[in-house]
Amino acid sequence: MNSPSREIVEWLRREYPVGCRIVLDVMDDPYTKIPVGSQATVTGVDDAGNIMCAWDIGSSLFIAYGADRCHKVTTEEEVKVTLDWYGKHQPEKDARCPRCGEIMPGPTSRHAISRRANIMICDMDGMREALEDARIMKSLPPMDWCAIQLPQNGGGKWRG
Ligand SMILES: [Zn+2]
């Protein structure tokens, strides 16, 4: 496989920043144990254009440049998988709200449970979701949540 140019590597680094969440489309390795559709957190792009990542299932196989394919989380279902994953790794205290990005002071368990995914959100956003479900407020798609839009703040786990 030809090495990518410096421009392509830089484009890949902008497109797949550290912390961004990806979904596997194709892995050109008959021995891989990673099923198509698995999600991972990007940990970097090396000089050969390979996307380094930490798979939720516990592997660190990279996405080989020119051989494997992936895409960033896009669909509602993919975003929910990511938010559920973040929810499993929320810090016990002073966590960042995945909707608005604000710090939730004190124990995370005392804040609000999201109606969109298994994750804690700030009390204000808990109220917003209730108002969205009552159709009083326009709903904020999970794709637009801070945790998805600013993955670099997650550092692999949404901790802020
Ligand atoms: Zn919030």
* Å from CA of 156 to ligand 1 middle: 19
Reported as a pLDDT band with limits 50, 70 and 90, residue 3 is confident
Other CB atoms within a 10 A radius of the CB of residue 37 amount to 11
Q: Show the domains of the chain with their CATH numbers.
A: 6-72 (2.30.30.40), 76-153 (no CATH)
* Å from CA of 104 to ligand 1 middle: 8
* Å from CA of 1 to ligand 1 middle: 45
Reported as a pLDDT band with limits 50, 70 and 90, residue 57 is very high
Residue 156 is predicted with a pLDDT of: 43
* Å from CA of 78 to ligand 1 middle: 21
b/e per residue, 72-81, with b = 16+ CB within 10 A? bbeeeebbbb
Mean pLDDT over residues 123-152, rounded?
92
Kindly report, residue by residue over 93-120, the tens digit of the pLDDT.
Answer: 999 999 999 999 999 999 999 999 999 9
Reported as a pLDDT band with limits 50, 70 and 90, residue 137 is very high
* Å from CA of 57 to ligand 1 middle: 28
Mean pLDDT over residues 52-69, rounded?
95
In this model, does residue 160 exceed pLDDT 50?
no
* Å from CA of 101 to ligand 1 middle: 6
* Å from CA of 146 to ligand 1 middle: 9
